Chain A
Amino acid sequence: MVIEDEEGLRESIEEYFSEAGNVCETAGGYQSAMAKINLYRYDCILLDITLPEGNGMDILKTLKENNYPDGVLIISAKNSLDDRLNGLNLGADDYLVKPFHLSELMARVSAIVRRKTFNGSNLLLFNELTIDLLAKEVKVRDIPVKLTRKEYALLLYFIANKGKVVSKNAIAEHLWGDGIDMANNFDFIYSHIKNIRKKLMEAGSNDYIQAAYGMGYKFTEQ
């Protein structure tokens, strides 16, 4: 469920998530959003705080007052600590500041949905890959693969965005945060990816990561 007043952004998100095989509904305003959340339950709600007819925080309050189990990810242009804390205190699961990459959004949503649906289970399975999310361990058919922290984060990111081309900018910002102003130096991303591929293939996994037109990488399921 996407609650976002900016049409262009709403459409992009919807398209990106639908293509990845999710069922997506949208609401462009406060009223329609309220109507929908009171009728249906969603795995995750993407909530914009600044809506034309009302405040997104009120929607969040309604959700929590009624004990609806929907995961909530706030997307907001306001990057102030107060807003962030406010949102998280009210029971939001995550807070993402605009502008963001769709792949980042997808990774965050996947994390929320994973937490909601696989209660208790910490294992993420992908073909022959098994990832223990608590211990942060990766195994290929029971053969453990030693990945560095960044490589592990990158692998999770790719799995969340499987089948999508992920731009280098998005990867850089995901790994180093947008505070670190190094996004134009992509060489080390290349070396990270080279390492992951090497380690996974040495453990007997398929090669899932493909370079995409020099702009990014694609994690394909085949």
Chain B
Amino acid sequence: MRLFAKYNRVNLIATVIIMLFTGIIYYQAISWILNNQKDNDLNVEEQEIFNYVKLNNRLPQIFESNDQQITFTPVRPNSVKREYINTMYFKKWNDEQGYRRHNRQHKRDGEFEAGRGLITSVTVNGKYYKILIVESKVETEDLIRIIFFITISVILFLLLVLMVINRLILNRLWKPFYSIMNELRLFNIADNNEIPKLDTAIDEFRELNRAVLAMTAKAKYDYKDLKTFTENASHELLTPIAVINSKLDTLIQTENFSERQSKILSDLYGAVSRLNRLNQSLLLLVKIENRLLQDQEMINFRELLEEMIAQFEEIFQDKNLKVTCTLSDKEIYATRYLVEILLSNLISNAIRHNYNGGKININLTDESLVISNTGADLALPDEKIFTRFHKSSASEGSGLGLTISRQICENFNFSLNYQFQSPFHIFTIEFK
């Protein structure tokens, strides 16, 4: 969740709760005030009745009124306790218009409305009467409703404004942060581009920017240091290897070797060429890991694969390997040199770890390249084989082949995985 979504959520919930709370209090306060007012009206009415009774010594006539009903009921003396009640007010339709207005819902001659009543009592000529004065609360209810709607609309409007403002302000406030993030994401240690210095008034972001700048500068410095070291080391190593190689080439020109001497020389040749390959592989690995080889182009993968397979033709024959290829057209965007190394590594692995008369299947589809070969009937440790210098004791390889292959795949966002389905060892490259 983004910070500002989280913040907005908390903010919104708090605002809504507070608003609801105030709304309820507000509602209660208004209805209390209005009830009070109604009660006052009722009191006035009661007083009027008392006055009338005192003056005329009889009950007043009852008038039909729109919002007031008074009933007198004779009851047992002193059985009535004076109290205010919330009750229903039965409103009669008194005109055509009103009748028509309501006759859809009600086929009656009136309807119930909320009302406020006062029960009191009076004694007229020794007779004890219960008085019930009921007033319609429709107006008050309407008033409350209107106030309530206004409040709700204000709340909603406020929320909306809050949200928009939060969004705008937070987006603007966090802009430097996102720009730093973006720079970090684009940061490539092998590039020469520096992360730009950010101009912001906010201390936290300035601090962050400064920390990021310092970190990247350090990383770049270390990286450059390491790169120079590898380059120097490789150069220093290559020259002596070149000398050994040339001296060996010169040495075998001098005639007359015993069988023993020539055996030693052969071994020397083998060791030097292995040393050389190892050195080259290490260099290559460093280069791929640091993404120094980047000139990518569209490659007809199928053609390239066919070329590679043709290259290995003699070696297949030499080991009596049965090679089955199912290739479909596939184009990839990659560095040709690296793809050649990748294929050559995988195919030579499939040969090296095969037995005489074994099988190799190469299957290229639009999604994946699968190279499977027969070999030792034992699954290889899945993840270990991709680590540096992991190799079987019998292997003549450098122990870097699969590491390099996986690095190359990662370089182009492919995935390289290993599976064992007896009798096949299966390496799968999935293009994404």
Contacts and interface: CB of A to CB of B under 8 A. Distances in A.
Interface of A: 6, 8-9, 12-13, 15-16, 19, 50, 77-81, 98-103, 150, 164-165, 167-170, 173, 176, 178-185, 187-188, 191-192, 212-216
Contact of B277 (A81, A101, A167, A181): A181
B243 A16 contact: no
B269 A169 contact: yes
A16 B337 contact: no
B100 to A, nearest CB: 94
Given A150-B314, A178-B280, A165 B252 contact: yes
B295 interface: yes
Contact of A100 (B245, B250, B280, B283): B245
B311 interface: yes
B115 interface: no
Contact of B250 (A99, A102, A178, A212): A102
B73 interface: no
Contact of A187 (B234, B244, B250, B318): B318
B124 interface: no
B276 interface: yes
B242 interface: yes
Given A102-B249, A212-B252, A213-B257, A167 B344 contact: no
Contacts of B266: 168, 214-215
A183 B345 CA distance: 13
23 contacts: A8-B243, A9-B239, A12-B249, A78-B235, A80-B287, A98-B239, A99-B244, A99-B245, A99-B246, A101-B245, A101-B246, A101-B249, A102-B249, A102-B250, A167-B249, A173-B273, A180-B348, A182-B348, A183-B273, A184-B270, A184-B396, A214-B266, A215-B266
Contacts of A98: 238-239, 241-242
B82 interface: no
B340 interface: yes
B253 interface: yes
Contacts of A182: 315, 348, 351-352
A188 B266 CA distance: 17
Chain A binding surface, main DSSP class: mixed
B315 A188 contact: yes
Interface in B305-342: 311-312, 314-315, 317-318, 337, 340-341
Interface in B238-284: 238-239, 241-250, 252-253, 257, 259, 261-263, 265-266, 269-270, 272-274, 276-277, 280, 283
Contact of B262 (A178, A191, A213): A213
B246 A102 contact: yes
A6 B243 contact: yes
A216 B252 contact: yes
Nearest to B347: A180
B243 A215 contact: no
Contact of B311 (A13, A19, A180): A180
Sorted nearest first, the 7 A-B pairs with minimum C-beta distance are A99-B242, A213-B262, A12-B246, A102-B249, A8-B243, A77-B238, A98-B242
Contacts of A170: 249
